[in-house]
Structure 1
Amino acid sequence: MATVHHWTGLETRALRLALRLSVRAFAEHLGVAVATVSKWESKRAGTAPRPDTQAMLDTALGRADAPAHLRFETLLSEMASPARHLAQPAGTGPRLWEYESWAEDLDRVGVALSRQKFTFADSLLNRWLVRFEVRELDDKGLYLFARSTALLGDLKRDQGCLLGPLSAQHSYAGAREVFGQLGIPRRIAQLDLSLAVVTEMSGKLEIAARQYETLAVDDRLSRRDRARARLWVGTALSKNGRHDYATHVMRAAIRDFEDLTEPDDWSVAHQKVALARRGAGDLDQALHLIDVARGSGNTDSPMERVRLDTAHGHILLSDAATRDDGLRVLDQATSTAAQYGLVHQLRSIEGVRAMSEGAAGPLRG
């Protein structure tokens, strides 16, 4: 939530309106004279309350509920534009509290995306991406802008919007350009990894595998990100039919995740290897590996539940004896994916069904 480091009449008016109080009611709320509030509002950024009153304003803002905070931030941003020449030097961009609120909102976006709350995440991101002109941002503002754009790419990717002007690819490329201007090689490499994921999801498997191979040894990335790139080399190879070599590559990634103590990545890696073994015809090993993944994975995330169920259903459908069980698991995955708007996952499930229909005749459900 917003904090104010120095109150002026501008901020006090925004707070009064955010709390939906009249001038008289606001004065009573703070314990000051009505004339004092009127003076603040008439002089706006040209006056400042006394230190003891500043503390009372801090308390009033701190006790406000979340909707009032959102109204306060929005109102203050709208008010600040015409009065910016009074409040701060021209061209300095957002205020300090706006940067702090922006960073806090990006943390909220990360949580929302992990829970597939796409509408909420999108509203938080667009609130900041449309607020400022890029040319008025300093390096800190550009960094937050690039982070916001990268997260928008994650949102678009998870929704299955991969290519085009309003896509994951477009957002990732835009964020990469800004991080390039700022000279932050780690972030640039992370965006290269994200762009490789889009390439794989778009069906360009050989190209994606080569990109992943390069990034798996890229010192700009953390060891965890390099291990993920190695895992995704195997994923792309397995999708392209090279199951045995893919298994070898992905087992190396599993060892990395063990060393790094990354249980969620370790679980995902077992899921990927399970699918590679299914492709190689080793169904017993595939079932063992998917059971390991299901027993250790993150089931709080709808996305991960859908991925696990889709992989499990795919393996079960490969054996006539467990075909009906596979259908039930896929039905469950379909229901969850539809509930959370996971378009790409729905396409994957449809692909699994179509593959099984081709191999064993029409499927129910």
Structure 2
Amino acid sequence: MATVHHWTGLEARALRLALRMSVRVFAQHLGLAVATVSKWEKHLVDTEPRPDTQAILDTALARADSAAHLRFEARLSEAGVAPSASGRRLVPTCPRAWEYESWTDDLDRTVAALSTQHFAFADNLLTRWLHRFAPQELDDEGLYLFARSTALLGDLQRDQGAVLGPLSAQHSYATARQVFVQLDIPRRVAQLDLSLAVVAEMTGELEGAARQYESLTRDDRLSRRDRARARLWVGTALSKGGDHDYATRVMQVATREFEDLTEPEDWAVSHQKLALARRGAGDLTQALALIDIARGSGTAHSPLQCVRLDTAHGHILLSDMATRDDGLLVLDLAARNAARFGLVHQLRCIEDIRTTSEGPPGLRRR
């Protein structure tokens, strides 16, 4: 419940608005003259109620219901200021406990929105907090929420294809990493190292990304699942670089780890990536078998997962002249869904596959 240690016109006005009263009704509610309340409204922190009036305001706040208390705190927070000890100047406010709770709830909602590619909603949830407080205003709890929000903003930017530049996944991940270093939370720092390696891979720095992934497969700061993901992504970078056979062996190790950990979604993703590695090696029969396993796992619930699966499936089909037309149809479906959900990076991948397929005939199925 809100408590005011020293009332000024600012808090008095916030209470009036929280109670949803006009100046006249609020004055009647307090048993004061309308002119007194009007003076508070005009001068805000530059005026202070008399001691006996401070007590009247204390009573009015204490008698307000919980909804009015929340509105009162929100009004003060939105003002972005609090009275100084003298009441004559403004100083920044710090977030209150209820704001941290709301922020945490919004981060949970953001994770859910990102999992289904509701980017506009996720962006709104994140920016409302990132624009509300400057890092220097926050204590350690607030900094943790700020860093988590910034990391999730990086995830959003990555999925939308903004990977480089000042408004990019790379910038957001680096900012979040710096805050987690300051807070001395090694696990979060390592997770951001993994995310930055993904950005490096997406921008074509395959050799560097593979080295980063490889080092993270042995990093005790990460969970076993994250280390298995790093191993899988070592294989992805190697496969993109043309080393398909070695990539397959690395991915198979990661696949077994996901099975041991009972992680069905990661297990399905590993089969999708294995399928692409086998396509690159020219083993289209095995590639189709692996992509069928991934498609039949029942784990592709989000638009992004479906687009990735269809893209991989279409790529494999397009590699054989006998199934080329089917491949183009599957890629068209993937492109429509990618455009619908704003998956810019996936659209670029699909366009690259189409462009490449227009060259010499692909590999024939063995």
Cα pair 1:263 1:297 within 8 Å, conserved: no
Aligned residue in 2 for 1:258? 259
Aligned residue in 1 for 2:320? 319
Q: Find out whether 1:6 has 2:2 as its counterpart.
A: yes
Distance 1:284 1:233 in 2: 24
Aligned residue in 1 for 2:272? 271
Distance 2:81 2:227 in 1: 44
Q: Which amino acid aligns with 2:154?
A: G
Show CA shifts across 1:36-77 (max 9, x none).
799999689x643479735xx225679xxxxxx8xx876442
Show CA shifts across 1:130-188 (max 9, x none).
21222121111111111111111111111111111111111111111111111111111
Structure 1 stretches of at least 4 aligned residues deviating more than 3 Å after TM superposition: 7-19, 21-27, 33-44, 46-52, 59-62, 72-76, 82-87, 89-92
Report how many residues are paired: 340
The verdict on how the C-alpha distance between 1:301 and 1:26 changes in structure 2, with shifts beyond 3 A counting, is farther
Q: Which amino acid aligns with 1:35?
A: L
Given candidates 12, 15, 29, the residue that maps to 1:34 is 29
Deviates more, 1:110-119 or 1:234-243: 110-119
The verdict on how the C-alpha distance between 1:105 and 1:18 changes in structure 2, with shifts beyond 3 A counting, is farther
Aligned residue in 2 for 1:159? 160
Aligned residue in 1 for 2:63? 53
Structure with greater proportional helix content: 1
Aligned residue in 2 for 1:66? none
**Tell me, what secondary structure is at the counterpart of 1:352?**
helix
The verdict on how the C-alpha distance between 1:255 and 1:338 changes in structure 2, with shifts beyond 3 A counting, is same
Q: Which amino acid aligns with 1:81?
A: V
Cα pair 2:245 2:281 within 8 Å, conserved: yes
Q: TM-score, normalising length from structure 2?
A: 0.83
The verdict on how the C-alpha distance between 1:141 and 1:360 changes in structure 2, with shifts beyond 3 A counting, is same
Aligned residue in 2 for 1:78? 78
Report the CA distance between 1:100 and its aligned residue.
Answer: 1.2
Deviates more, 1:133-142 or 1:292-301: 292-301
The verdict on how the C-alpha distance between 1:212 and 1:26 changes in structure 2, with shifts beyond 3 A counting, is farther
Cα pair 2:268 2:294 within 8 Å, conserved: yes
Cα pair 1:24 1:34 within 8 Å, conserved: no
Distance 1:276 1:189 in 2: 27
Counterpart mapping for 1:209-220 below 5 A: 209-220=210-221
Cα pair 1:156 1:162 within 8 Å, conserved: yes
Counterpart mapping for 1:1-365 below 5 A: 5-6=1-2, 17=17, 21-23=20-22, 34-35=29-30, 47-49=57-59, 53-54=63-64, 57-58=65-66, 75-83=75-83, 93-360=94-361
Cα pair 2:247 2:277 within 8 Å, conserved: yes
Distance 1:15 1:359 in 2: 74
Report the CA distance between 1:351 and its aligned residue.
Answer: 0.9
**Tell me, what secondary structure is at the counterpart of 1:164?**
coil
Cα pair 1:92 1:137 within 8 Å, conserved: no
Cα pair 1:16 1:26 within 8 Å, conserved: no
Distance 1:289 1:12 in 2: 67
* CA RMSD across the alignment: 3.1
Where structure 1 has 5 or more consecutive residues not aligned to the other structure, the ranges are 28-32, 63-68
Cα pair 1:23 1:34 within 8 Å, conserved: no
Cα pair 2:313 2:330 within 8 Å, conserved: yes
Report the CA distance between 1:123 and its aligned residue.
Answer: 1.6
Report the CA distance between 1:18 and its aligned residue.
Answer: 7.3
The higher radius of gyration belongs to: 2
Q: Structure 1 vs Structure 2: percent identity of aligned residues?
A: 64
Report the CA distance between 1:26 and its aligned residue.
Answer: 9.4
Cα pair 1:268 1:297 within 8 Å, conserved: no
The verdict on how the C-alpha distance between 1:282 and 1:12 changes in structure 2, with shifts beyond 3 A counting, is farther
Distance 1:156 1:110 in 2: 14
